[in-house]
Amino acid sequence: MEFDSKISSDNFKIPEFIEPYLVKEVTAYREFTNSYLSKKLKVPSINEYKLEKIFDTISKKEHLKASLNIKLPPYQSIENSIRIIAYSLALSLESNAKEILNGNKDIERVHQFRVASRKLRTLLKEFDDIFEPNWRKKRYKATREFISHTNLKRDTDIYLEDISSFEKSKLINGKDLMVSLRAFIRNLNQNVRESL
């Protein structure tokens, strides 16, 4: 709402029927003047929440899935929203990496690790102006390397699932073929272990 003077602005009372919809009174904030809005070409965030508080809340959740349902606080800036999502993905990377390093053989762990890596890499690439350049460059490179180093393991897991389901389908009649497939699987598993 526009006012002719500061006095008329200060004397203005919000009608009662509007009050339930009022998020915050911003009349006194320079960032909400027409001049500022037209120069910046974006509406400033009204209600920034402390990132540390949000991070603490997110940290208390389980992070084995890379596709978490994160509830962003209302009126959060795009920058902070991206940081919150990136933080959540980093926690997913860390949780799945710990599980893998502790010997968890569930193929879902490598899959979720890779999903979180790809999502984080995309965020870092598409929203590069949000992150400090040197920090972003290191993390982008690391996520690319994570994906590269886990390619063989993930491909092997998929092949093993396919071979196992093929073996169960009883389409293979030759005993020699099954012996060869099992030897191939053992060799593949050994190569994967050595590559990680």
Span 2-35, pLDDT tens digits: 778 878 877 888 888 887 877 677 777 777 777 8
- Per the structure, the count of domains in the chain is 2
- The pTM for the full model equals 0.59
Helix (H, G, I), strand (E, B) or coil at 61: coil
Task: Evaluate if residue 40 carries a pLDDT over 70.
Answer: yes
Which structural domain range is residue 10 located in?
Answer: 1-44
For residues 139 and 55, what is the distance between their CA atoms, to the nearest angstrom?
A: 19
- Which residue in this structure is represented by tokens 């400033």? 44
How many angstroms separate the CA atoms of 117 and 85, rounded?
12
Compute the C-alpha angle 107/185/97, nearest 5°. Answer: 25
Residues 111 and 185 grouped into a single domain: yes
Same domain, residue pair 63 and 11: no
**pLDDT tens per residue across span 88-133:** 898 888 888 888 889 888 888 888 888 888 899 999 999 988 889 9
User: Would you say residue 193 has pLDDT above 70?
Assistant: no
Does the pLDDT value for residue 48 go beyond 70?
no
Cα–Cα distance, 109 to 154 (Å, whole number)? 10
pLDDT category of residue 194 using cuts at 50, 70 and 90: low
Confidence at residue 151, expressed as pLDDT on a 0 to 100 scale = 76
**50 and 31, same domain (yes or no):** no
More confident call, 190 vs 142 = 142
pLDDT for 77 equals: 78
Same domain, residue pair 149 and 185: yes
Residues 52, 35, single domain; the answer is: no
Average pLDDT over residues 129-151: 87
pLDDT of residue 134: 92
